[in-house]
């Protein structure tokens, strides 16, 4: 049976996600409110899981496809549960950046199920990889993971950037102040002294809700520059905090699995490109690639802070929409 891609469906999904992304960009995040944008993300994961289970049932009598698509379906459902729990912890209960937490069990399991799905399909049709193919599978995860870990452990200061601006702000009660270094206090503003440097607290006029304006700290004046957050990390190493090592292990796992599954999806698209499943696998690659881009945006942005208005949520939602359509195409192919 035909599994030709319907361009009108793809265009409609693209238009819908562009509108979704634009509205998400301008609609501010409100704490303790689980809004439409946050709800659509796990729903798209559950939808992809449902489509995968339907495909698994259709191919259950085959040697490999039934188990492979069952694994994909369970994985997407696990991803939906993990995302939902993250929303419950962060949005409803107000736990800032709940990492690691119970939601990581389900999110971490998603990558294992996705990896099994990709590996099973690829190895069934291609028993041996060339040197170039092995290099792609190894180098993409290794390079990306190394870059992401470097960003995590080391601070990069860019004058005028968001982290640079945030590092020069403090919040006292409900008022945000800019830290302006001066030689002698003018008497016009309150001032503080940090490491023999005098700063005047000049009221800041905030013009955006896209970024959290409060650096993370338990101190009374909430003063910990985000651009030197690696110092906080090093102090945690000295204290040998086991939670820190669990978090670092999860970061390495997420970084490597995201790019490894992307590499295998590219390989699968290459193998299936001229087969009956060519169109379906091409769409599946696109969907997995979009979710991987969303993951990478999240990994980089969450080094400093995270806000729902970031574009990663649109990439995630659109990616799972494409995966659902790809699985629909798989369902049509007999």
What residue spans of the chain are helical by DSSP H? 7-26, 36-58, 65-87, 103-125, 131-153, 162-166, 229-239, 242-272, 278-301, 312-332
131-161: pLDDT as tens digits: 877 787 888 888 887 877 776 666 555 554 4
What's the first-to-final CA gap in the chain, in angstroms?
6
Q: Is the pLDDT of residue 268 over 60?
A: yes
35, part of any domain: yes
The residues pairing with 199 across neighbouring beta strands, listed in sequence order, are 181, 192
- According to DSSP, the β-strands at 191-194 and 197-203 are antiparallel
Same domain, 123 and 82: yes
Banded model confidence at residue 283, pLDDT cuts 50, 70, 90 = confident
Same domain, 37 and 127: yes
Same domain, 219 and 137: no
> Based on the structure, what is the number of domains in the chain?
2
- Choice between 138 and 306, residue whose per-residue pLDDT is larger: 138
Buried b (16+ CB within 10 A) or exposed e, 144-170: bbeebbeebeebeeeeeebbebbbbbb
Expressed as residue numbers, the domain containing 179 is 168-224
Burial of 203 (0-12, 13-18, 19+ CB in 10 A): exposed
Return the C-alpha torsion angle 312, 316, 319, 323, nearest 10.
Answer: 170
Q: How much of the chain exceeds pLDDT 70, in percent?
A: 72
Burial of 220 (0-12, 13-18, 19+ CB in 10 A): exposed
Same domain, 102 and 133: yes
324 within 8 A of 23, measured Cβ to Cβ:
no
For the chain, the residue count is 334
162, part of any domain: no
236, part of any domain: no
The SS3 call for residue 78 is: helix
**Residue 233 structure tokens:** 């990390």
44-76: pLDDT as tens digits: 999 999 999 998 988 887 778 889 899 999 999
180-190: pLDDT as tens digits: 777 777 777 77
Same domain, 29 and 124: yes
Banded model confidence at residue 123, pLDDT cuts 50, 70, 90 = confident
Q: How far apart are CA 315 and CA 89, in angstroms?
A: 22
161, part of any domain: no
Return the C-alpha torsion angle 284, 286, 291, 295, nearest 10.
Answer: 130
Query: What DSSP designation does 151 have?
Result: H
229-261: pLDDT as tens digits: 433 334 344 445 566 677 778 888 888 898 888
Same domain, 148 and 87: yes
51, part of any domain: yes
117 within 8 A of 110, measured Cβ to Cβ:
no
232, part of any domain: no
- Choice between 144 and 214, residue whose per-residue pLDDT is larger: 144
Same domain, 256 and 326: yes
Average pLDDT over residues 191-203: 74
- Mean confidence (pLDDT) of the chain: 76
Q: Which of 7-21, 141-155, 202-216, 305-319 has the highest mean pLDDT?
A: 7-21
Same domain, 135 and 209: no
Q: Is the pLDDT of residue 222 over 50?
A: no
2-16, 139-153, 201-215: range with lowest mean pLDDT: 201-215
65, part of any domain: yes
Same domain, 220 and 245: no
The SS3 call for residue 174 is: coil
What is the residue whose two structure tokens read 């087969």? 275
Same domain, 205 and 321: no
133, part of any domain: yes
Q: pLDDT at position 111, please? A: 94
Give the pTM: 0.71
Phi, psi of 102 (to 5 degrees): -60, -30
Q: pLDDT at position 333, please? A: 58
Same domain, 46 and 193: no
63-116: pLDDT as tens digits: 788 898 999 999 999 999 999 988 888 777 766 655 677 888 999 999 999 999
CA-closest candidate to residue 322, choices 27, 11, 66: 11
Q: pLDDT at position 144, please? A: 80
Q: How far apart are CA 214 and CA 222, in angstroms?
A: 7
Same domain, 141 and 252: yes
């Amino acid at each position: 049976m035909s599994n030709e891609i319907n361009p009108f469906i793809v265009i409609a999904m693209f238009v819908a996600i562009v509108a979704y992304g634009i509205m998400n960009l301008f609609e501010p995040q409100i704490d303790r409110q689980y809004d439409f944008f946050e709800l659509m993300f796990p729903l798209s994961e559950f939808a992809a899981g449902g489509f995968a289970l339907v495909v698994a049932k259709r191919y259950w009598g085959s040697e490999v496809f039934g188990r492979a698509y069952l694994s994909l379906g369970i994985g997407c459902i696990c991803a939906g549960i993990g995302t939902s729990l993250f929303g419950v912890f962060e949005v409803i209960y107000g736990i800032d950046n709940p990492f690691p937490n119970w939601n990581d069990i389900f999110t971490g399991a998603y990558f294992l199920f996705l990896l099994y799905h990709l590996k099973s399909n690829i190895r069934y049709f291609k028993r041996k990889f060339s040197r170039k193919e092995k290099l792609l599978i190894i180098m993409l995860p290794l390079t990306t993971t190394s870059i992401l870990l470097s960003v995590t452990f080391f601070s990069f200061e860019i004058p005028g950037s968001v982290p640079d601006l945030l590092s020069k702000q403090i919040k006292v009660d409900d008022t945000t102040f800019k830290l302006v270094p001066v030689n002698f206090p003018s008497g016009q503003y309150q001032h503080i002294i940090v490491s023999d440097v005098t700063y005047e607290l000049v009221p800041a006029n905030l013009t955006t809700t896209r970024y959290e304006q409060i650096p993370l700290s338990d101190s009374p004046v909430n003063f910990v520059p985000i651009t030197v957050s690696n110092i906080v990390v090093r102090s945690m190493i000295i204290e040998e905090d086991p939670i820190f090592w669990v978090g670092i292990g999860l970061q390495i796992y997420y970084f490597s699995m995201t790019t490894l599954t992307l590499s295998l999806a590219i390989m699968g698209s290459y193998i299936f490109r001229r087969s009956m499943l060519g169109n379906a696998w091409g769409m599946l690659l696109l969907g997995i690639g979009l979710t991987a881009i969303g993951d990478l945006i999240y990994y980089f942005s969450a080094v400093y802070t995270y806000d729902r208005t970031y574009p990663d949520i649109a990439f995630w939602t659109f990616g799972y929409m494409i995966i659902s359509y790809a699985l629909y195409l798989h369902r049509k192919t007999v």
